[in-house]
Amino acid sequence: MYDLHQGWENREGAAGDGGRGVSPLIGRTLVVTRAAAQAAGLVDALEALGAKVVRLPAIKIEPPMDQRALHHAVQNTAEYDWVIFTSANGVDFFRTAAEAVGVDVKGALASTRLSCVGPATANTLEALGLTVEVVPETHRAEAVVDALAAHQSLLGKRILIPTVAEARPVLRDGLQELGAEVDAVTAYRTVSVENPDPGALDQIGRGVDLVTFTSPSAVRSFHRLVDGEVVADAGVIGPVTADAARDLGYRVAAEADPFTISGLVEAISSHFKGARHA
């Protein structure tokens, strides 16, 4: 299996190598479409396994054009019964907004109850010394609604969702249907890259083995950058990203479980290990 700190180890072993396996990514060319500021972890992990990585950031992550609603939410977090984060980006931009208005983010969030869509987001909050009460087993917005409803009645509860500008309304709508008062505020936005690296596009045009996607917006932006051509199979984090890839014609060959960078690297490695032995 793959561990971000220890690298690749074939648990079944390999003859003549002392039990150490040979990485199935050696000789493979993979595309990383994450925003440039966030790509290093995935790139380093794939390169450590012998893959050739083509970096083509498809999106940029930026703060909202108007941050007044976010600043107001940060300053009034104690008024909410729950704060739900749908991504690690949401946590990071919420923290940055808190710093901008002189609010201690740990103290503000410690005054309420916290829920997250998935483990990577929960890990980001826990790194701040906070406790996350509810993380659904299925890491998508619909499951958050069910998990919170199972936790307690949401009738009359005030809930804050710091989220991406283009977020699906399913989480907000589902909570409102259960009687909650929901404020969904834009914590950040994804912006499509307009001027990609021509060298990276040229490498992709010559053929790659897999394209990695960590968000639906990255799928859509990358697809536009390659003029709507499905250049390879996809490796994805999360079912919503998988759906976006399939909608545009990609075959999802590797899907992270859990929905983390480590989980994605493991899924990609397992996919190519199977291809090698097929």
Q: Based on the domain organization, do 78 and 174 belong to the same domain? A: yes
Instruction: Give domain status of residue 41, yes or no.
Output: yes
- pLDDT value, residue 7: 47
- Average pLDDT of the chain to the nearest whole number: 90
Give me the mean pLDDT over the 110-136 stretch.
94
Give me the mean pLDDT over the 263-273 stretch.
95
Q: Based on the domain organization, do 226 and 270 belong to the same domain? A: yes
**CATH code, domain with 34:** 3.40.50.10090
Give me the mean pLDDT over the 8-16 stretch.
36
Give me the mean pLDDT over the 101-115 stretch.
95
Does the structure show a pLDDT above 70 at 204? yes
Determine the structural domain holding residue 156 and report its residue range: 62-190
- pTM metric for this prediction: 0.81
**Kind of pairing, strands 59-62 and 181-192?**
antiparallel
Q: Select from 168, 190, 212 the last residue of a domain.
A: 190
Does the structure show a pLDDT above 80 at 2? no
Instruction: Give domain status of residue 12, yes or no.
Output: no
Residue pLDDT, tens place only, 13-68: 333 333 356 889 999 999 999 999 999 999 999 999 999 999 999 999 999 999 99
From residue 33, how far is each of 38, 47, 216, 219 by CA, in Å?
A: 10, 15, 11, 8
Number of structural domains the chain divides into:
2
Hey, what amino acid is at 124?
A: T
- pLDDT value, residue 276: 63
Burial of 24 (0-12, 13-18, 19+ CB in 10 A): buried
Q: Select from 164, 190, 216 the last residue of a domain.
A: 190
| Three-state secondary structure call for residue 116 | strand
Work out the pLDDT band at 251, boundaries 50, 70, 90. very high
Q: Based on the domain organization, do 87 and 178 belong to the same domain? A: yes
Q: Based on the domain organization, do 177 and 79 belong to the same domain? A: yes
Does the structure show a pLDDT above 50 at 263? yes
Residue pLDDT, tens place only, 159-196: 999 999 988 899 999 999 999 999 999 999 999 999 99
Q: Based on the domain organization, do 139 and 32 belong to the same domain? A: no
38: left (phi over 0), alpha (psi -120 to 50) or beta: alpha
Tokens at residue 248, please? 């545009």
Q: Based on the domain organization, do 163 and 218 belong to the same domain? A: no
Phi and psi at residue 52, to the nearest 5°: -90, 125
Work out the pLDDT band at 278, boundaries 50, 70, 90. low
Q: Based on the domain organization, do 155 and 217 belong to the same domain? A: no
Q: Based on the domain organization, do 102 and 77 belong to the same domain? A: yes
CB atoms within 10 A of CB 67: 19
- pLDDT value, residue 175: 97
Q: Based on the domain organization, do 119 and 92 belong to the same domain? A: yes
Helix or strand (DSSP H, E) at 112: none
Instruction: Give domain status of residue 93, yes or no.
Output: yes
Q: Select from 172, 190, 208 the last residue of a domain.
A: 190
Q: Based on the domain organization, do 74 and 182 belong to the same domain? A: yes
Q: What's the order of all strands across the beta sheet hosting 82-85?
A: 59-62, 181-192, 158-164, 82-85, 113-116
Instruction: Give domain status of residue 18, yes or no.
Output: no
Following DSSP, what letter does each residue of 5-70 receive, concatenated? TTEE--TT--TTTTTPPPPTTTT-EEEE-S-GGG-HHHHHHHHHTT-EEEE---EEEE--S--HHH
CB atoms within 10 A of CB 43: 17
Instruction: Give domain status of residue 251, yes or no.
Output: yes
Instruction: Give domain status of residue 19, yes or no.
Output: no
Give me the mean pLDDT over the 117-124 stretch.
90
Q: Based on the domain organization, do 47 and 68 belong to the same domain? A: no
- pLDDT value, residue 134: 95
| Three-state secondary structure call for residue 154 | coil
Q: Based on the domain organization, do 209 and 235 belong to the same domain? A: yes
